Amino acid sequence: MIIDPLLYKYLMLASGICITILGALLACIYIPDIKQLKKLRMARKCLVPSFFILSLLSFVSYYFGYDPYVENTGTLITGSFQALLFTMTMIIFIRPNDVHKKSVVGQFYIIALAGILIYLSKFLHHDWFMICFHIAEGLYLMQLVFYTRLFHRAYQTTRSELNDYYDEEEESRIYWVKIGYYGALTIGIMVLFVPYLGPWFFSFFVIFYMVYYCLVALRINYYQNKMAFMFPVFSNNTVETGEMKELNLAFKTVQKNQSVTDKDAEYCEQTEQLKTAFRQWTENKMYLLKDVPKEDIIKQLNTDIYALRRYMKNEKGPGFSQWRNPLRIREACLLFMIQSDLTAEQICKATGFNNSSNFHKLFQEKIGKTTREFRKLTKAEQPLLYDQIEVKKRQMFETSAFLPDF
């Protein structure tokens, strides 16, 4: 690849200035000194130097001009460093307890040693350099595959734990982390093509990674403000796993020792208690609360996880969250009818949904109309007195197939 020297200098200067500013902004972001954000602070400590190192390399390239061997090697080594740092940062976002400082530092030194060996080979023999460079490309590709599998496993585990902790579909709230990782992976793959494609590709590559660095800096600030719902899962997932194993063992032991008559009597008693608890729980509209852990719901119902699951399976049919969502949709319909000044987003939040896309999807699925269509339908009718509204609500929901049965 032969690139215009003037264009190369402008790109390197722009890259150096942009990434220096971003590194400074990232260093100045305030991260509260709390336990749940300890690994995030560690990630910031790793990322800030990487920002400045990359900006320094850009300024050096600007000063000395374009050398294809130096540039291609530097891009490959820098890509390997960034693959390590960005992968660990994205995993910290979703599973901070899985990232350990010793492991990150060890991989950092291995990459640095590999880079030194490649540069040394250039001064020893040109053929050796090309052999080392192609070997490094193969190892770098293996690194990307390994990190992708590592991230995918961490992401799937976190998604499962979040869904289990809140008994709701929570992936939409962490999906941006997945998008962020695959953005970094795209940059990593582009590194492999930089030595072989034309100047247009190199220019696009520089612009693309500058934009990505901007997004990473913004997301770290976004994370501490918007991702607090994950903190209890970080703190409790290891303990809960051990506790659940013990409870499972104890539960199986009790089951073996119980007679059939005792089981039937206990089940009938638990069923009646849960019917009463569910009635009170719904009358108090506890289903409208957002980000309530499943353990808290179990305490509110004065039961245990096994009794709740058995009751939901035998008496209600669907799982707890599938049973609760229609209650929330019903409440949303009432709000659309009574408080027409509220926006769909406000009603979404008021009814306990954590994601507007899920709210709109479920609403259309259960009601058969979009929120916009439903609002137009209610606005088209004559204004109703409060008691008339109550009659209309009864008529609407008594015939509804999704109305939960108590």
The string of pLDDT tens digits covering residues 289-338 is 877 777 788 888 887 777 777 777 777 666 777 788 888 888 888 888 88
- For residue 165, the model assigns a pLDDT of 73
- Give residue 337's domain range: 258-398
The string of pLDDT tens digits covering residues 102-150 is 888 888 889 889 888 888 887 777 778 888 889 999 999 999 999 999 9
* Residue 345 located in a structural domain: yes
CA-CA distance, 232 to 236, in Å (whole number)?
Answer: 6
> Is 105 within 8 Å of 84 (Cβ atoms)?
no
**What total of structural domains would you count in the chain?**
2
* Residue 207 located in a structural domain: yes
158 and 73 in one domain? Answer: yes
298 and 198 in one domain? Answer: no
This prediction has a pTM of 0.67
265 and 228 in one domain? Answer: no
Encoding tokens for residue 63?
A: 């000063």
Tokens 């209309």 correspond to 392
* Residue 406 located in a structural domain: no
User: Between the CA of residue 122 and those of 131, 133, 183, what are the distances in Å?
Assistant: 10, 9, 32
Encoding tokens for residue 204?
A: 């696009």
* Residue 110 located in a structural domain: yes
**How much of the chain exceeds pLDDT 70, in percent?**
77
193 and 47 in one domain? Answer: yes
323 and 212 in one domain? Answer: no
CATH of the domain at 293: 1.10.10.60
151 and 46 in one domain? Answer: yes
Overall average pLDDT of the 353-375 stretch: 84
Last residue of a domain, one of 184, 217, 233: 233
91 and 181 in one domain? Answer: yes
- For residue 149, the model assigns a pLDDT of 95
* Residue 317 located in a structural domain: yes
**pLDDT above 80 (res 248):** no
* Residue 242 located in a structural domain: no
Q: Which of 370, 343, 345 is nearest to 356 (CA)?
A: 345
* Residue 250 located in a structural domain: no
374 and 263 in one domain? Answer: yes
- Most confidently predicted of 48-57, 108-117, 138-147, 362-371: 138-147
Last residue of a domain, one of 200, 233, 266: 233
30 and 165 in one domain? Answer: yes
